[in-house]
Amino acid sequence: MSTKEMKLLISALGEEAAKELQRPAEPRDVMRQFCRAMSVRKGRLIELKFYSFPPDAGVSGLCLDLGDRSIIVVEEATASEAQLVIVGHELKHADMGTGHHAAGMPAAARTHGTLQQPEAVRRALQQILDEYDLTSEAVLTVSARDHCADEHEIDAETFGLLFAAAVRPWIRGRYAQGPVSDATVEGRINLSLLSRGGTLL
Ligand SMILES: [Zn+2]
């Protein structure tokens, strides 16, 4: 997917998310609405959960594909700006519907970019499965990002960064922004993400 196509997708998701959100809003509300927007797009439920991954797992996000639905799991102990990148990254996995089958434990994992530690990732995943009362058999796809970035991972990471840049102004706080203005860098990013219909993200 080209960068332009990614921006159009973010814009389309933003149009849907905006239907049930008054911006600026609380970070989790914004992220949930974008997951709802992706649910509408894909015709299947994309749930959002927050979870404190063990530090040694080196993982900040997972996308569990359960067939009829997906669960995006995001590290809760990090800044909302970073969570936006994670949500965007995992939303792209949910959109692509592709994951790598990693070592018998299917799951899409976003690591911190360091060498992943499969055992720690596996433990974290098992905790999530236990917590949500899921069996590992229920999970069809889980991919793990490793140091050999493949095309899907590059797409997911690019999308995550574009997503965070576009959606950050929706969040209450120092980056919050109402009407678009080209007077700021933030505003120029927003303007560059306007869809052809002129709808603001
Ligand atoms: Zn990934």
Could you tell me if residue 200 is inside a domain? no
Q: What is the pLDDT of residue 32?
A: 98
Give the domain extent around 163: 3-192
Expressed in angstroms and rounded, the spacing between residue 93 Cα and the centre of ligand 1 is 7
Expressed in angstroms and rounded, the spacing between residue 73 Cα and the centre of ligand 1 is 12
Looking at the structure of the chain, the number of domains it has is: 1
Could you tell me if residue 197 is inside a domain? no
What band does 117 get if pLDDT is binned at 50, 70 and 90? low
Could you tell me if residue 126 is inside a domain? yes
Could you tell me if residue 177 is inside a domain? yes
Could you tell me if residue 87 is inside a domain? yes
Tell me: the pLDDT tens digits for 2-29? Answer: 999 999 999 999 999 999 998 899 999 9
Expressed in angstroms and rounded, the spacing between residue 198 Cα and the centre of ligand 1 is 30
Tell me: the pLDDT tens digits for 63-91? Answer: 888 888 888 989 899 899 999 999 999 99
Tell me: the pLDDT tens digits for 126-170? Answer: 888 888 777 776 676 665 444 345 677 788 889 999 999 999 999
Could you tell me if residue 201 is inside a domain? no
Could you tell me if residue 198 is inside a domain? no
Expressed in angstroms and rounded, the spacing between residue 103 Cα and the centre of ligand 1 is 15
Cα three-residue angle 128-39-88, rounded to 5 degrees: 65
> Quick check: pTM over 0.85?
no
Three-state SS sequence of the chain:
CCHHHHHHHHHHHHHHHHHHCCCCECHHHHHHHHHHHHHHHHCCEEEEEEECCCHHHCEEEEEEECCCEEEEEEECCCCHHHHHHHHHHHHHHHHHCCCCCCCCCCEEEEECCCCCCHHHHHHHHHHHHHHCCCCHHHCCEECECCCCCCHHHHHHHHHHHHHHHHHHHHECCCCCCCCCCCCCHHHHHHHHCCCCCCCCC
